[in-house]
Structure 1
Amino acid sequence: MTSRDPLALLDTRAAGVLRRLHSANDRQLPRNLLRLAGDLPALVLGRPRRRPPAAAGRFDDAFLALGRKQAAYCYAQARAVRARRVVEFGTSFGVSTIWLAAAVRDNGGGTVIGTEMVPEKAERARAHVREAGLADHVDIRTGNALETLRDLDGPVDLMLNDGFPDAALDVLRLVAPRLRTGAVVITDNVGAMRGDYAGYVSWLRDPAHGFVSVRVPYKGGTEVSIRVD
């Protein structure tokens, strides 16, 4: 491990688990790109994708994880705002959950509340979190985030919005009243799926909704939004 390795930010136990999971995610990427083949025209043109109701099931066995540098950026943001309560929409197999839980622990303690629709993925995420030694800082809820986050306590310091884009705005609106001033919202895939996220970004960048929002160049474009009022 060198200082250029993003995993050098973490303790050796968590880093070891993440190294294995990130490598598994890398091996899956070609297959996941093939699954998106039918969506490529819309993605290239920046248009919303038209998917059949069962399309989400294509990825029930996929990691869909943040890359190492992107995840390290989320860790750094969580440290910067001294996050104690974090919400994650789209836990998948728990890669980003481990990064965020490590930040919460390194900030002195707290909870990452994860949400995952697929029960099998949620169970694997819990196992990975336990293996990383971070179970005391994670609460993974299984089911529709619009239900599992309905009784969310505040204040929330950081939100990672990384679930399916057609639900992203509804989930953000649900969580927004609990975001403290200065809280950070990080949204994945906004550049790669700009058609799907056009309405979401428009909402975030409307000053009436209380955010300052910019794009950073991770994974084709990641939206970073700060709650200012």
Structure 2
Amino acid sequence: MDGIVLQGAEVTVQGHRLLQPLTLHLTERRIAVLGRNGAGKTTLLRLLAGLQPASAGTVQVEGADPADRRAMLGAIGILFQNSDHQIIFPTVIEELSFGLRQMGRPDAEETARAALAAEGRADWADRPVSTLSQGQKQYLCLLSILLMAPQTILLDEPFAALDLPTRLRLRRRLADLPQRLITITHDPASVEGCERVLWLEGGAIRADGPPAAVLPDFVAEMERLARA
């Protein structure tokens, strides 16, 4: 089945249920998962990415089991909020080549260098990652994901650590991508352009629908909590 399918999928860690049983079929091209800190958003992201196994129920990503790491390389990619938590190699070319090597590509470095050249960044290839700005690191992580051409990209608060010009550039780049994007966020402004919004509260889906149907109630609830 196309898309991401959860059937009664839940997550319990050390006796504490972080995600209630969720049954969802995610097929839309632009989806947001909205909620407060502690609502279960990151747990859901990890579940979809195969980084957190389901304690019960099942998860299928583009027909693949998230436990099948090889299949997941071409099914899903993740852009974390903090690129320093994602980058593992000292130079740009090593970082870009890694995913392609994991996919068994013998031309990994050649392809990575060609991608940098196409972006007008050929001079970045041998640069230490430590010399890049936060925005440049986020750009490097996105390019690493795009080289693997996953069908879905998970975005974990992707704009939080960026200044406004960098945020706008990244937003434009993401808007043009053909992949399905699932954005994890606490900010209602970040769901602009989404077709579907999942409001997560206490590890359960409180509302699920188009932004116009979900956002007014979410904002009203956040205002109520602020007053309380």
Q: Shorter-normalised TM-score: what interval? A: 0.3 to 0.5
Find the structure with the greater CA-based Rg: 2
Q: Which has the higher contact order (CA 8 A, sep 6+)?
A: 2
More helix by share: 1
Larger fraction in strand: 2
* TM-score normalised per structure 1: 0.35
